[in-house]
Structure 1
Amino acid sequence: MSSTISLPACSCCHRHIMPNDKCVKFNCPNCGDKLIWRCESCRESAKSYTCDLCHSQGP
């Protein structure tokens, strides 16, 4: 039997987020439907993200 684990990706740089990474996740502040993931590097450098559903952008 084989199982796979799906790792989330940063919404800014699209790098996979590992379990012990210092990241944040939150629902899109505009639509509330899409889960936004941000890695430590993108948070610290304030790279913008775009919601895949409503196309709003944030810092």
Structure 2
Amino acid sequence: MMFGENLSMSSTISLPTCSCCHRPIMPNDKCVKFNCPSCGVDLIWRCQSCREAARNYTCTSCNTIGP
């Protein structure tokens, strides 16, 4: 087989989303990620905008609401 012949080299990148506003978080964004402080199960992502505005997030595992 010749290089490039019938080769499919597609890959999909899955970006994390902000737990508050649900927008995708880009690689160079100033964001934070941490496990839920109550249950430790969910990974919470917060974008810079939501952190600065102190918007609430909700853990999908234990329903804890945090700033």
TM-score, scaled to structure 2: 0.86
Of the three residues 40, 54, 57, the one matched with 2:62 is 54
Runs of 4+ in 1 over 4 A off after TM superposition: none
| Larger gyration radius, structure 1 or structure 2 | 2
Q: Which amino acid aligns with 1:11?
A: S
- d(CA) in 1 for partners of 2:23, 2:11: 22
Query: Structure 1 stretches of 5 or more lacking a match?
Result: none
**For residues 47 and 58 of structure 1, what CA distance do their matches in structure 2 show?**
8
SS in 1 for 2:63: coil
> What SS does structure 2 have at the residue aligned with 1:43?
helix
Structure 2 residue aligned with 1:25: 33
Cα RMSD of the aligned pairs, angstroms, is 0.4
Unaligned runs of 5+ in 2: 1-8
- Paired positions, count: 59
| TM-score between the two structures when normalised by the length of structure 1 | 0.98
